[in-house]
């Protein structure tokens, strides 16, 4: 396996970053996960726009997007696989312990992992912890993911694959690694970005392609929604058949099934030639 580090391809076994890299010591980093089908990245431009937005939000220098594109192409070429996930990690770099930011310039790593198609439906739980929609990191895709790790572990303990968060004012927000959509009276809704959720690339495409409304939704909407689904780069559109103890028999319901179909058809096209 070859990864991109320090401006070129390296063997994963010998690639090294500093133990004082600020991405490691304080989570001062950002990332993107990009689906790659037959060696072609899906919606790469949208991911790179978000990478730049996240960098600016964290006060990191803008990433060199030409280098990131070259890195993605080189890593995909060096590690052929039918369905993969590119992982772009960009951190503040390394510096002496206690320094505010690395003084050797940012670290860019691009790696590729395998992935498999997710089942058509899944179980989710809600967790009591909240997303802070007014926090400094709201909407940024940072490597400070520990809260998601904790929530996901709770989900796994309960036989679910995702945990959903509300925000500080009790509204539905997002999952640990996905956005959420609900059907109410036959209409499709998803929380607005102001809820503190990540501006998911799959979410944006699903909104564009289905006309879903962006609506403030109380967390308890999950107790009465006719259908619920998740969106993410690795799940695409995935129906939810259980929320906590509430079963949603027949998932995917008609609205979800239509969204899945539309996504399947349109995401086959090369969004990023």
Chain residues binding ligand PLP by CB under 6 A are: 33, 174, 177-179, 198, 200-203, 231-233
Q: How far is the CB of 50 from ligand PLP (least distance, A)?
A: 7
Nearer to ligand PLP, 43 or 94 (CB): 43
3-state SS, residue 29: strand
What is the rounded end-to-end Cα distance, in angstroms, of the chain?
A: 25
Please tell me the distance from the alpha carbon of residue 23 to that of residue 198, in angstroms, as a whole number: 20
Contact 163, 155 (CB under 8 A): yes
Comparison of 99 and 168: residue with beta carbon closer to ligand PLP: 168
Residue 23: its H or E element:
helix 22-25
The number of beta carbons lying within 10 Å of the beta carbon of residue 112 is 24
Cβ(141)–Cβ(32) below 8 Å: yes
Least Å distance between CB 10 and ligand PLP? 25
Nearer to ligand PLP, 107 or 178 (CB): 178
Which residue's beta carbon is nearest to the bound ligand PLP? 200
Determine the Cα–Cα distance for residues 29 and 54; give it in Å rounded to an integer. Answer: 9
The residue (of 247 and 265) whose beta carbon lies closer to ligand PLP is 265
CB of 110 to ligand PLP, least distance (A): 16
Smaller CB separation from ligand PLP, 41 or 177: 177
* Beta carbon of residue 142, minimum distance to ligand PLP (angstroms, whole number): 10
Question: How far apart are the C-alpha atoms of 227 and 240, rounded to whole Å?
Answer: 7
* Closest by CA position to 198, among listed 33, 26, 68: 33
Nearer to ligand PLP, 15 or 137 (CB): 137
Residue 204 φ then ψ, to 5°: -60, -40
User: Which of 168, 196, 158, 169 is closest to 180 using CA atoms?
Assistant: 196
**Minimum Å distance from CB 141 to ligand PLP?**
6
Least CB distance to ligand PLP at residue 233 (A): 3
Q: How far is the CB of 6 from ligand PLP (least distance, A)?
A: 26
| Assigned token pair, 236 | 């695409």
- Write down the least CB distance from residue 48 to ligand PLP, Å: 12
Q: Running DSSP on this structure, what letter comes out for residue 119?
A: P
Q: How far apart are CA 178 and CA 98, in angstroms?
A: 34
* Closer residue to ligand PLP in complex, CB, 2/219: 219
Token pair for 199: 């501006």
Q: What six digits make up the tokens of 219?
A: 């967390």
Would you say 22 or 46 has its CB closer to ligand PLP? 46
């Amino acid at each position: 396996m070859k990864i991109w580090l320090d401006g070129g391809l390296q063997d994963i076994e010998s690639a090294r970053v500093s133990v004082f890299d600020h991405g490691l010591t304080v989570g001062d980093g950002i990332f993107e996960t990009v689906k790659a089908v037959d060696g072609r990245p899906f919606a790469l431009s949208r991911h790179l726009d978000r990478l730049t937005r996240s960098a600016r939000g964290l006060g990191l220098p803008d990433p060199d997007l030409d280098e990131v594109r070259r890195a993605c192409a080189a890593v995909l070429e060096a590690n052929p696989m039918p369905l993969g996930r590119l992982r772009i990690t960009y951190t503040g770099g390394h510096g002496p312990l206690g320094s505010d930011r690395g003084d050797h310039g940012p670290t860019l790593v691009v790696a590729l992992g395998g992935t498999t198609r997710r089942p058509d439906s899944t179980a989710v739980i809600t967790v009591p912890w909240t997303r802070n929609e007014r926090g400094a990191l709201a909407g940024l895709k940072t490597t400070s993911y520990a809260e998601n790790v904790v929530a996901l572990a709770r989900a796994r303990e309960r036989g679910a694959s995702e945990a959903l968060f509300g925000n500080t004012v009790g509204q539905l927000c997002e999952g640990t690694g996905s956005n959420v959509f609900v059907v109410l009276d036959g209409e499709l809704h998803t929380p607005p970005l102001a809820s503190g959720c990540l501006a998911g690339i799959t979410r944006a495409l699903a909104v564009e392609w289905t006309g879903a409304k962006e609506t403030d939704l109380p967390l308890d909407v999950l107790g009465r929604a006719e259908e619920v689904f998740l969106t993410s780069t690795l799940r695409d559109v995935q129906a939810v058949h259980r929320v906590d103890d509430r079963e949603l028999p027949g998932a995917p319901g008609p609205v979800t099934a239509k969204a899945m179909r539309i996504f399947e058809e349109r995401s086959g096209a090369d969004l990023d030639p």
